[in-house]
Amino acid sequence: MGIHLLPTEVVDQIAAGEVVERPAHLVKELVENSLDAGADHITLEYSEGGRYVKVVDNGSGIDPADLPKALQRFATSKIEKAADLWRLNSFGFRGEALASIASVSRLTLTSRRPGADTGSRLIADFGKMGPIENVGGSFGTTLVVEDLFSNVPARLKFLKTAAAEGTQIKTVMKALALAYPQVDFKVLCDGQLIFQWLQASSHLQRAQDVLEVEKLYLGESTRQDIRVQAVFADPNTTAKTSKNIWLFAQNRWIQDRSLQVAVQEAYRQLLMHGEFPIAAVWVQMDPENIDVNIHPTKSQVKFVQPGDVFRAVQSAVRGTLEKAPWVQSLAEQHFHSGIDTNPTGNPPSTSFIAKSPEPANFQFQDQNLDRVQFPKKEMLNLETLKKYAPAKIRPAASFASVSDVDSQLSSPPAEFSTMKEEAPAKDLISDVKEAPRKFWSQLDVLGQAHSTYILAQSEKSLFFIDQHAAHERINYEQIMSAWKQGNGPRQDYLFPLVIDLSEEKVQALQIHFSELHRLGIELEVLGPGSVGVKSAAPALKESAIAQVIEKVAFELCQHGDSFQFEKWVGDLCATLACHSSIRAGQALSLPEMKSLLIEMDAFPLSTFCPHGRPVFVEYPFYRLEKDFGRIV
Ligand code: ADP
Ligand code: MG
């Protein structure tokens, strides 16, 4: 066979293999065309797992004379010259999608420009275009695709079940809805309405509708020309895969491993192994700094400054996570609602309150409290209890004052001494004063269960606090902040510990000596292939030091940049924190427990241990009331 140009139909089918590999891709192309046409009402109907698709929009429509061009390859109304590729403000620009789809389906394109007397229609039967007909119909464009891939049996074979293809279509629609909050979307599957997302005023509101997570939080950041908005769930609300991290660049849904990691990194030490964040992130930047033309389905992009984008995303999420807004809402729920109404501990739901037969029965009375508060006589003594546990739950108004918390701290009783070593009370006071909200320190400590869990109560709930997890979290934050301030605790060695490493590793370490020093590990170069440890954090066992240094050196050689270093520091702090924390099974005195709770308030993220396990479990009293049949 001599060399010859391929016929158009073959070229289109080849392109179709790339652009519309699956029905979900087709849906994406069609809906993106509607968005490019400025539509703000878009309805998608599909059946047979997307082999039948209908998209109706109220966008700008197509002139009758242009209808055939719309179905031609490389015909587009969106760009003219190569330079336009760097100033894109539309999804489409290649003019390939409709031509590709038309070559593998029976496609009906109906369109009416706003204000036009009539609409017009063009049918293409597996690539063969019919005549342009005049029709009525509403303003905008309707595209129907039928019998997808009927002429390409090989491709048909690769389609999964209708349900599986449907799942992909739903995912695509969710992504598009997240990208365009201002657009009304309706999705029907086999004639049934499955999604309806009404116009939303913000990303946050749209994300709440689409992700179906009740409470989401917003974080924002800017770095040079990069602007990031991130909406995400608290670390209690997680997913089992990374699929719930939705990423958008210039309103395009993208797959980007690095930004996905940026979101996960922001949750560092807040999630357990196997838990993934639920988050949507929108990144906007000058169009010159992003290339969207690197992938057939345009699902991947290239950033000119990937490092900056990474950091901007990470800090948008982390910035809000660090304020632990979910703890605040927990506090509001517990204390603020207590001021006005509802002293019963019932949940705010009116139906519950209405059903409660005798709400007055469940008020706190001193006697009630006393009965619960002395489960273990030998451990609790009345004097300390009176001093540390307020006899009654305080009304919300008094929580603004931290004076009694402070006075407890400034004259710590003898029992505090063990904890004081690790957490100097003075530092703590200043932190406590700065902390925006008191929650844990306001709880009444009831006792210790199983020598592992601190039992405490608020007006509305009983709390079990894992003493090891709680203390670990506090230590972690203290070590991290010591590192940030450059004064980690150190223990000097009489003779430096010699560690042999490759020259490359020694050099990599050397660059970071000062940072390691701030963490409490002081190194010196002893030769081209060895370092000496002059001092280390007291919590770090001597036997573990060589391993730790080896690991840091390895990481630094592998990745080199300071981000990896920060990540590693986080891990190291978690290890140090774990080794210096109260163990499970260790009996604690009431003041010790109380002081632990006070410390918990000093750090914003203290509701999860550094390994992401929860620090506490809450039992609302209404649940007890229910269990005891006091309410139905
Ligand atoms: P591209 O989107 O890359 O331009 P397509 O093949 O998807 O290529 O579409 C070709 C052209 O058809 C578009 O440039 C646009 O002018 C027109 N078009 C397609 N869908 C619509 C629509 N829903 N509303 C208005 N015009 C449309
Ligand atoms: Mg297009």
Block residue for tokens 């790339």: 18
pLDDT band at 163 (very low <50, low <70, confident <90, very high): very high
Tell me: pLDDT of 577 over 50.
Answer: yes
- The CA 150 to ligand 2 mean position distance, Å, reads 22
265-279: pLDDT as tens digits: 898 888 888 889 999
594 contacts 445 by C-beta, under 8 angstroms: yes
According to the model, what pLDDT value does residue 39 have? Answer: 97
**Pick the residue with more confidence: 592 or 437?**
592
Sheet holding 279-284, edge to edge: 217-223, 226-232, 279-284, 245-249, 252-254
Span from the CA of 283 to the centroid of ligand 1 (angstroms): 25
Q: Using CA positions, which residue lies closest to atom 16 of ligand 1?
A: 77
Question: Using 50, 70 and 90 to split pLDDT, how confident is the model at 90?
Answer: confident
pLDDT of residue 488: 66
Q: Give yes or no for residue 12 CB within 6 A of ligand 1.
A: no
Nearest atom (ligand 1) to Cα of 96: 6
Which residue's CA is the closest to the ligand 1 atom numbered 14?
76
Please report which confidence band the pLDDT of residue 433 belongs to, taking 50, 70 and 90 as the band edges: very low
Quick check: CB of 59 below 6 Å from ligand 1?
yes
Q: Reply yes or no on whether the pLDDT at 374 is more than 60.
A: no
- Give the confidence band of 540 by pLDDT, cuts at 50, 70, 90: low
Which 3 state secondary structure label does DSSP give 589?
A: coil
What's the token pair of residue 37?
């046409």
Q: Could you say which ligand is closest to the alpha carbon of residue 32?
A: 2
- Of the given ranges (233-237, 428-432, 579-583), which has the lowest mean pLDDT? 428-432
With 50 as the cut, is the pLDDT of residue 170 above it? yes
Residue among 338, 591, 556, 570 at smallest CA distance from 461: 338
- The overall average pLDDT reported for the chain is 78
Residue 333 DSSP SS3:
helix
The residue ranking higher by pLDDT, 404 or 161, is: 161
Q: Is the pLDDT of residue 386 over 60?
A: no
Question: With bands split at pLDDT 50, 70 and 90, how would you rate the model's confidence at 330?
Answer: low
292 Cβ below 6 A of ligand 1: no
Percent of the chain with pLDDT over 90: 41
Ligand 1 binding pocket includes 93 (Cβ within 6 Å) = yes
* Long-range contacts formed by 189-193: CB under 8 A, 24+ apart: 189/45, 189/46, 189/47, 190/47, 191/45, 191/47
Average pLDDT of 442-466?
Answer: 93
Ligand 1 atom nearest to 79, measured from its CA: 4
Q: What integer pLDDT is reported at residue 199 of this predicted model?
A: 96
pLDDT, average across residues 217-241: 93
The H or E element containing residue 228 is strand 226-232
What pLDDT score was predicted for residue 490?
76
Q: How confident is the model at residue 512 (pLDDT cuts 50, 70, 90)?
A: confident
Q: What local confidence, expressed as pLDDT, does residue 297 receive?
A: 67
User: Greater confidence, 162 or 335?
Assistant: 162
Nearest to 547 by CA among 600, 501, 615, 491: 501
| 498, pLDDT greater than 80 | yes
- Greatest mean pLDDT among 74-78, 323-327, 343-347, 472-476 lies in 472-476
Report which ligand 1 atom has the smallest distance to the Cα of 100: 6
- According to DSSP, the β-strands at 140-146 and 106-112 are antiparallel
What was the pLDDT predicted at 169? 97
Q: Is 229 left (phi over 0), alpha (psi -120 to 50) or beta?
A: beta
- Burial of residue 433 (CB within 10 Å: 0-12, 13-18, 19+) is exposed
Contact 501, 516 (CB under 8 A): no
Which residue among 18, 30, 33, 121 has the greatest number of ligand 1 atoms within 8 angstroms of its CB, and so is best to mutate?
33
pLDDT for residue 328? 60
Ligand 1 neighbour 33 (Cβ under 6 A): yes
Of 29, 43, 56, 76, the residue with max ligand 1 atoms within 8 A of its CB, to mutate for a pocket test, comes to 76
Residue 404 has pLDDT above 70, yes or no: no
DSSP string for 248-265: EETTEEE--HHHHHHHHH
Question: Which of 27, 98, 113 maximizes ligand 1 atoms within 8 Å of its Cβ, making it the mutation to test the pocket?
Answer: 98
Ligand 1 atom showing the smallest separation from residue 95 Cα = 8
- Cβ of 100 closer than 6 Å to ligand 1, yes or no, is no
CA of 413 to the centre of ligand 1 (A): 76
Q: Which residues pair with 47 in a beta bridge?
A: 52
Q: How far is ligand 2, taken at its centre, from the CA of residue 378, in Å?
A: 76
407: pLDDT strictly greater than 90: no
**Distance in Å, CA 84 to ligand 2 centroid:** 16
Tell me which of 376 and 246 has the higher pLDDT: 246
Q: Calculate how far, in angstroms, residue 209's C-alpha sits from the geometric centre of ligand 2.
A: 27
Give me the pLDDT at residue 378, please. 28
Give the range among 68-77, 542-551, 613-622 with minimum mean pLDDT: 542-551
Residue 396 tokens read as: 């919300």
Rounded distance, CA 424 to CA 470, Å?
A: 17
Q: Residue 361's pLDDT band (boundaries 50, 70, 90)?
A: very low
**pLDDT at position 370, please?**
28
pLDDT of residue 253: 93
Lowest mean pLDDT among 333-347, 395-409, 441-455: 395-409
Ligand number nearest to the C-alpha of 124: 1
Q: How far is CA 522 from its chain centroid? A: 36
Ligand 1 pocket check for 60: Cβ under 6 Å: yes
Question: What is the model's pLDDT at position 559?
Answer: 67
With a 6 A CB cut-off, is 109 part of the ligand 1 pocket? no
The reported pLDDT for the residue numbered 402 is 28
Residue 447 — pLDDT band, cuts 50, 70, 90? very high
d(CA 308, CA 318): 15
Task: Tell me what pLDDT residue 380 has.
Answer: 30
Check residues 561 and 360 and name the one with the higher pLDDT: 561
Query: Ligand 1 in contact with 101 (CB < 6 A)?
Result: no
More confident residue, 327 or 428: 327
For atom 19 of ligand 1, the residue with the nearest CA is 33
Model confidence over 457-468: pLDDT tens digits? 999 899 999 999
Instruction: Tell me the per-residue pLDDT of 19-30, one tens digit each, with 9 for 90 and over.
Output: 678 899 999 999
DSSP 382-426: HHHHHHHS-SSPPPGGGGG--HHHHHHHHS--GGGHHHHHHS-HH
Is ligand 1 within 6 A of the CB of residue 29? yes
pLDDT in tens, 187-227: 999 999 999 999 999 999 999 999 989 889 999 999 999 99
Residues 6+ apart with CB under 8 A from 332: none
135 Cα–ligand 1 center, Å: 20
pTM exceeds 0.85, yes or no: no
Return the pLDDT at 83: 72
pLDDT higher than threshold 90 for residue 449: yes
Render 184-219 in DSSP notation, one character per residue. EEEEEETTEEEEEE---SSHHHHHHHHH--S--EEE
Q: Is the CB of 435 under 6 A from ligand 1?
A: no
Q: Is the minimum distance from the CB of 140 to ligand 1 under 6 angstroms? A: no
